[in-house]
Structure 1
């Protein structure tokens, strides 16, 4: 127990140190690229943002460890087909990381420049709140962390028998529509930005279909081999 507490304290101190430098880099990056002054609206705003980012970094480091411990704990009680699903846990973390990177790209390269354009149009001086700015970026990271779990959710539902490949194929048009709607909701009102969001969402779903088809064909081949072996 003492070892865990010491390890968490070391992680917290390292995360705090990293958070200060990350936020400083972020502020300098915005100042250079958009000629903006990032301000705090209260004495506690800066330290609260540093603490929030520190906790987020600590969670990111601890999450894989917690997942590993949880899997090790429940694995002996699972059936064989249930144990096979555990391989999707590290895949979920990888997809979430890719989603967070995608959310970062959208926030910094598309959303912020678009909204900044209105300030320039009205010839307003840019002075952004650190709290609102970090909340905006972190929200995008979290949204796309979840969105990029689509292939995993579809694959697990298929593996458990709740979703058939033929049903997924019939859902293509609906997924296209939902992808476009989500792209229109979370992006500025221009076609290119909407497609940048909608296209990856549909591609993720299409990859899920193709993977499930591959699993079905592999399972069918195994069944044929078993029947032939029994016939002999």
Structure 2
């Protein structure tokens, strides 16, 4: 008399294992493809930064350092280094930052190629537009700071310490101060984009932003007083553009409809 196969016998277990492996393969394939695509993005981006870093350090680092130290050198201030490796490390730092800027188009293109398949056509258009605007605003903020506000800040700090001691600036601390001063301006100039996104998500609207205008203006000038030297010119140099950007953000919000929730 033949025995019936029971659940849990080797044949049944093998079949279940094969089904599980097939399901895992079917579900894991997309993840593996995404990981491979992400790996390619990271490798290509890192290679682009490395090549740009090498080219900058080999051929343009002296010109970059002269441009960076220009506001100080023009005022007759001596720049020194206080550690054996400080000058070299600072050059590496500047070359790396410049390399990131130069390689940015390659990095952006790689990232865009990675996320584009997950977006709808309308979302792709909106993303491209917002990205271009955000990039231009960041560059505008950095350029505005370096050409206008930064020189005022340098003059203020030098005058403030004139009667105390002779200024001898460390190259590493000076470069860190420079980038720490101008990059926040680029970030602050993203205000219209931030207002647009909050309106798009339904968190704010143009009427609400307009009703809070006087409080925002007060906050902007308080922030300007903290970030800039305590003179009217420096505070206006930061405060007025921020107010203008806020008004541009309100205008963008008036033209924006909140995204409908599914």
Q: CA deviation at 1:29?
A: 5.0
**How far 1:129 moved relative to its partner?**
1.1
- Count of aligned pairs: 214
CA 1:4–1:34: 2 relative to 1, 3 Å: closer
Q: CA 1:3–1:182 in structure 2 vs 1: closer, same or farther (change >3 Å)?
A: closer
Unaligned runs of 5+ in 2: 1-39, 258-262
Distance between the aligned counterparts of 2:113 and 2:67, measured in 1? 39
- Partner residue, 1:203: 244
Extract unaligned runs of 5+ from structure 1. Answer: 217-232
User: C-alpha displacement at 1:136, in angstroms?
Assistant: 0.8
Write the distance in 1 (CA, Å) between the matches of 2:111 and 2:196.
Answer: 21
Partner residue, 2:162: 120
C-alpha contact (below 8 Å) 1:158/1:212 kept by paired residues: yes
Name the residue aligned to 1:105: 147
Partner of 2:208: 167
Query: Conserved in 1, the CA contact under 8 Å of 2:228 and 2:235?
Result: yes
Contact 1:85–1:156 (Cα < 8 Å) also in 2: no
1:52 corresponds to: 93
**Secondary structure of 1:38's partner?**
strand
Q: Which moves more between the two structures, 78-87 or 131-140?
A: 78-87
Counterparts in 2 of 1:5 and 1:128: CA distance versus 1, 3 Å: closer
Q: Mapping of 1:1-232 within 5 angstroms?
A: 7-16=48-57, 17-27=59-69, 29-31=71-73, 33-86=74-127, 87-106=129-148, 108-122=150-164, 124-215=165-256
1:27–1:4 distance in 2 versus 1, CA, 3 Å: closer
Whichever of the two has the greater Rg, that structure is: 2
Moved more, 112-121 or 99-108: 99-108
Deviation at 1:72, TM superposition (A): 2.7
CA deviation profile, 1:12-49 (whole Å, cap 9, x unmatched):
12221323321134435522x21111010111111111
Q: Is the 8 A contact 2:45 2:103 kept in 1?
A: no
Distance across 1 between alignment mates of 2:234 and 2:125: 38
Matched-pair contact (CA < 8 Å) for 1:99–1:145: yes
Structure 1 Cα separation of the partners of residues 91 and 63 of structure 2:
10
TM-score, scaled relative to structure 2? 0.73
What displacement does 1:195 show? Answer: 1.3
**CA distance 1:92–1:43, change in 2 (3 Å):** same
Q: Is the 8 A contact 1:107 1:137 kept in 2?
A: no
